[in-house]
Amino acid sequence: MTNFIANTPLKTTKRVFIHIVNKSIVPLLSFFVRYLIPRECFYNIFYPWPRPHELSHDAHNIHSTGIHYGLFLNSPTLSLLQDLNSQLIRVDNEINLIIYQICSSSPPRGNLHREITSLFEKSTLLGIAHSQELQEIVSSFFGFSPTIRTLEVWLTTYVEGSTLEGTNYFHRDGDDFRLLKCFIPLTEITDMNGPFEYLLNSVWQFSPNEPFRDLSQHDLIKNDRLFFEYRAFTFTAQPGCFLLANTKGLHRARPILSGSRIMFSISFTSPTPYERVLL
Ligand SMILES: [Fe+2]
């Protein structure tokens, strides 16, 4: 009883102190971290880039070249992909109608894109984004669990007489300073229907002598010679595989010469990307 009486004022003081910390100091610190310290600086202090020897084998590939090409092999992911393929077959008529509408648009614009994410079940797309294969590689590369900023399924089709769009030129993305994009083909990607292309070792941060290091994400390189002069990777592929790319490196969608393609893309970032999380 004596102890209880003796401790009461102390406990009250402690509660008041915790209240003050919670109500004023924590918001103040959050404000300081969020707005006064550049978020890149914050992450570099609290989540520094893993050293090369700390990276998994696949994450090391991304660190050294900018990309990693892989196959989905785990049975839970394979069944999700099968599910996605069934959904694709179910919406075949809708997709053909969209292609018809694109082709009859006048005047034709670019290698025409349409986002068709809403035709698919979000839980399936999210399940693939959370698959062990992708999460392990991205977490190892970032040094922390990634945030999924976007889940998008894009239909791209050729239209005669169309002009090129910005993404058809080599450029850098600026969604976030920790950024990996995953490309999963839902239909076959060939040389003809606009494969994704990536210039290896073009992330200036990891390749300081990279000749285009001064180009920001606002610059487009309209010079095709680049493709021939530097080691370029062309992502021609069948469904069932994936490409993880650090799109802060130079990349583009090669202009479509014929046909169409459907690609599922996932954007992995830090929890506070420069462009807001759209999920
Ligand atoms: Fe891009």
Cα(24) to centroid(ligand 1), Å: 41
Q: pLDDT tens for the chain, 279 residues: list them.
A: 444 444 555 567 777 777 776 677 766 776 666 667 777 787 788 788 888 889 999 999 999 999 999 999 999 999 999 999 999 999 999 999 998 888 887 666 656 788 999 999 999 999 999 999 999 999 999 999 999 999 999 999 888 777 777 788 888 898 888 999 999 999 999 999 999 999 898 887 777 776 676 666 556 666 666 666 677 899 999 999 999 999 999 899 988 888 999 999 999 999 888 877 776
Per-residue pLDDT tens over the stretch 113-144: 889 999 999 999 999 999 999 999 999 999 99
Nearest CA among 94, 272, 247 for reference residue 179: 247
Cα(219) to centroid(ligand 1), Å: 11
Cα(251) to centroid(ligand 1), Å: 6
In this predicted structure, what is the pLDDT of residue 66?
95
Cα(124) to centroid(ligand 1), Å: 24
Per-residue pLDDT tens over the stretch 153-197: 999 988 877 777 778 888 889 888 899 999 999 999 999 999 999
In this predicted structure, what is the pLDDT of residue 206?
72
Cα(45) to centroid(ligand 1), Å: 28
Cα(121) to centroid(ligand 1), Å: 25
Cα(86) to centroid(ligand 1), Å: 28
At 270, list the tokens.
């830090």
Cα(81) to centroid(ligand 1), Å: 24
| Residue boundaries of the structural domains of the chain | 2-36, 51-269
Cα(64) to centroid(ligand 1), Å: 20
Cα(253) to centroid(ligand 1), Å: 8
Cα(12) to centroid(ligand 1), Å: 56
Cα(130) to centroid(ligand 1), Å: 22
* 202 vs 66: CA distance, rounded Å: 7
In this predicted structure, what is the pLDDT of residue 120?
97
In this predicted structure, what is the pLDDT of residue 2?
46
Cα(169) to centroid(ligand 1), Å: 9
In this predicted structure, what is the pLDDT of residue 1?
45
The CA-to-CA distance between both ends of the chain, in Å, stands at: 55
In this predicted structure, what is the pLDDT of residue 123?
97
Cα(126) to centroid(ligand 1), Å: 21
Nearest CA among 158, 187, 186, 175 for reference residue 256: 158
| Cβ–Cβ < 8 Å for 148, 117 | no
Cα(167) to centroid(ligand 1), Å: 6
Which CATH number applies to 51-269: 2.60.40.10, 3.10.290.10, 2.60.120.620, 1.10.3720.10? Answer: 2.60.120.620
Cα(201) to centroid(ligand 1), Å: 16
